[in-house]
Amino acid sequence: MTAARETLSTLVERLFQPAAKERPDGAMGAELEVIPIRTRTRRRVPINATQEGPGSADIAREAARIEGWQEETDEYGAPKWNMPDGGRLCYEPGGQFEVVSPVFASAVDLSTDLRKVLGVLRASAASADVQLLALGIDPYNTIESVALELHAPRYDAMTEYFNRIGEAGVRMMRQTASLHVSVELGPHAMQRWKLLNSLAPYLIALFANSSSYGDRPTGYASYRAHQWQTLDPTRTGLPFDSTDPIGAYTRFAANAGRILTEASAHLTTLFPEIRPRGYFEIRSLDAMEPDRIEQALQFISTLVHDTDAAAAASRIVGAPDSSLLARAALNGRSDSLLKARIAQLEQLAIEASGMYLR
């Protein structure tokens, strides 16, 4: 084994160790991305103002003035805003807003926070005649009309790499929006790792809402998920192996095409459905409206944190199955292989928590 591989192996092992101490197992965090468009023209809103109108940074600054957020410049040279509770507002490469929450003790507290922040941003955006779309992909514009907004070595390298493969990678960077949900490793991390990888296709299907792109229907329930799945098969999917989970992720990392050469940076360019980061980051969800966010968070929390519900969900979904990902993106909850199990998972979550999913 080479020194480089040993270094990668050590870094991967660390990803499966708790990132923080003394957090309750039900603690959750999230990143919600939204897409700013001009209400009248449906054109994308860049970070900085143009002749068309205010930039998204102007919108954020107005919200920050009201809420007491502190502006800084991030590592990519773009503005970001730190919130008093530890949350922050920053940007994705195409100028999508990303709301990064602090860690909350429960799904209810987390959904309340995301609803509040998005509401503040939307009020500021409305005064600038801008909408913030909580959808999995920009439904109106094509990639040719959406520029790369963050110019930094990381994103320039990603653009160059993905352009050699096809358009899915740059669409992902500039036009998609997700809800990423983070949960603790828990007392039985490998059991949770297996369950989350098994649940990924069902989460895609159940919460899919991105069927349009370029002002046309795509035929996909989640065109966002389709872009992620096809951007580069060496760095996406379900890198799970029950006999050697950490070794499987190490091999996945080692075999992924190199965008950034340094090992720790390389790991940040891997985009599996479930990503270990000292906690588990669930990356299978389209961005969605606050009411739906509340349902998604409660659904995940119930099936992951309730011991009996987690065991029952594991029995329903079985082992992780990568072949279901494309079906979930294409057909959503109507897929013939997924819909019966989705119904079972919904009923399980309802009975375990009293939640309402429809």
The beta-strand segments (E) located in 260-316 are 271-272, 274-276, 280-286
Beta strands in the chain (DSSP E): 28-38, 70-73, 79-82, 88-91, 97-100, 130-133, 178-183, 212-213, 216-217, 236-237, 271-272, 274-276, 280-286
> Using H for helix, E for strand and C for coil, what is the string for 128-189?
CCEEEECCCECCCCCHHHCCCCCCCHHHHHHHHHHHCCCCHHHHHHHHECEEEEEECCCCCH
pLDDT cut 70: percent of the chain above it: 97
Domain spans, the chain: 3-350
Other beta carbons within 10 angstroms of residue 103's beta carbon come to 18
Beta bridge partners of 123: none
Mean pLDDT computed over every residue of the chain:
96
Structure tokens at 335: 């897929």
Quote the CA–CA distance of 158 and 97 in Å, as a whole number.
Answer: 19
Tell me, yes or no, if the pTM score tops 0.75: yes
Q: Residue 36 pLDDT > 60, yes or no?
A: yes
CB neighbourhood size of 275 (10 A): 20
pLDDT of residue 356: 54
Q: Does residue 158 register a pLDDT over 80? A: yes
Predicted pLDDT at 313: 98
List the structure tokens of 21.
């101490």
Main-chain phi, psi angles of 274, to 5 degrees: -120, 125
Compute φ and ψ for 255, nearest 5 degrees. -90, -10
* Cα radius of gyration rounded to whole Å, the chain: 20
Residue 1 pLDDT level (bands cut at 50, 70, 90):
very low
pLDDT, tens digit, for every residue of 263-294? 999 999 999 999 999 999 999 999 999 999 99
Structure tokens at 278: 């000292």
Q: Which residues contact 229 (CB under 8 A, 6 or more apart)?
A: 236, 237, 325, 326, 329
- Which tens digits make up the pLDDT trace of 222-276? 999 999 999 999 999 999 999 999 999 999 999 999 999 999 999 999 999 999 9
CATH C-level class of 3-350: alpha beta
Find out whether 120 and 63 touch, Cβ atoms under 8 Å. yes
* CB 33, CB 287: distance < 8 Å: yes
What is the per-residue pLDDT for 355? 64
Compute the distance between CA of residue 24 and CA of residue 3 in angstroms, rounded to an integer: 37
Summarised one tens digit per residue, pLDDT across range 339-357 is: 999 999 999 999 998 765 5
> Quick one: CA torsion of 246, 249, 250, 256, rounded to 10 degrees?
180
200, two tokens: 């990924």
